Amino acid sequence: MKTFILKIAIVIVVFVTAIWLIGFLNQDSPSLPLSSFRLSPYEESISVGQEFKVDIILKTDQEINGADSIISFDSRLLEVIDIQPGNLFPFYPRKNINLEKDRIEITGVKSKKDGQVFTQPLIFATIVFKGKTPGIAKVDFTFYKGKTIGSTIVKAEGSENILEKVYNGKYEIK
């Protein structure tokens, strides 16, 4: 009888472990080698009137010509104080705050002589926000996989959008 119970217990442990492994290996993670944008920090709790910085992190393992980060935010809850370009690209021709559409638009492009491949996540740009009124403020990338509208990471050869995944942010204003 003890042997029978032990065999059933082993089968259950193996089954549960297999299910857990399948779920663990299939989850999306910023550490996977995808071309991605992510906000850092992705969560923050701040006070009304407090300023805080959010980095836009770009990750890719391919040579790229440039990138566009199109981000929506709630201007009733957050004020954009500043957009600071990163040192990822030599040129940042667009750093716009569109209050009519509650949107931030940032474009970075490389020089024609630059053949650099970014093998680790780097800061594309930094946005300085200020909490205006209490609430939960979502800050989301506008992203359509495979399309050249919205946020993009543009491959050097063929000018294809290789952006695979975005990781948005949520900020509580108290």
Within 13 A of 10's CA, how many CA atoms are on the CB side?
A: 6
CB 72 within 8 A of CB 140: yes
Torsion angle defined by CA atoms of residues 81, 87, 93 and 98, in that order, rounded to the nearest 10 degrees = -30
- Our count of domains for the chain comes to 1
Model confidence pLDDT, tens digit, residues 79-90: 999 999 998 899
Q: Give the Cα separation of 109 and 39 in Å (integer).
A: 20
Residue 27 lies in a domain: no
Q: Look at residue 17 and tell me if it is in a domain.
A: no
Residue 125 or 22, more confident? 125
- pLDDT tier for residue 6 given thresholds of 50, 70 and 90: low
Taking the C-alpha atoms of residue 3 and residue 9, their distance in angstroms, rounded to an integer, is 10
Please check whether residue 30 lies inside any domain of the structure.
Answer: no
Residue 19 domain-assigned? no
Q: Would you say residue 164 lies in a domain?
A: yes
Which pLDDT does position 87 carry in this prediction? 86
Range list of β-strands (E), 27-133: 36-40, 43-46, 51-59, 64-72, 78-85, 91-98, 103-109, 122-131
pLDDT digits (tens, 9 = 90+) for 128-157: 999 999 999 999 999 998 888 899 999 888
Domain with residue 119: its CATH number is 2.60.40.680
Please give the Cα distance from 48 to 43 (Å, whole number). 16
pLDDT score of 27: 45
Q: How far is CA 106 from the centre of its chain?
A: 14
Q: What is the largest CA-CA distance in the chain?
A: 75
3 within some domain: no
Instruction: Supply the mean pLDDT for the chain.
Output: 85
Judge whether 169 lies within some domain: yes
| 31 — pLDDT class (breaks 50, 70, 90) | very low
Name the band, by pLDDT with cuts 50, 70 and 90, for residue 28: very low
Count of other CB atoms within 10 angstroms of residue 45: 11
Which residue carries 């979502």 as its tokens?
A: 138
Contacts of 81 (CB under 8 A, 6+ apart): 51, 128, 129, 130
Instruction: Let me know if residue 112 belongs to a domain.
Output: yes
Q: Which domain holds residue 49?
A: 36-173
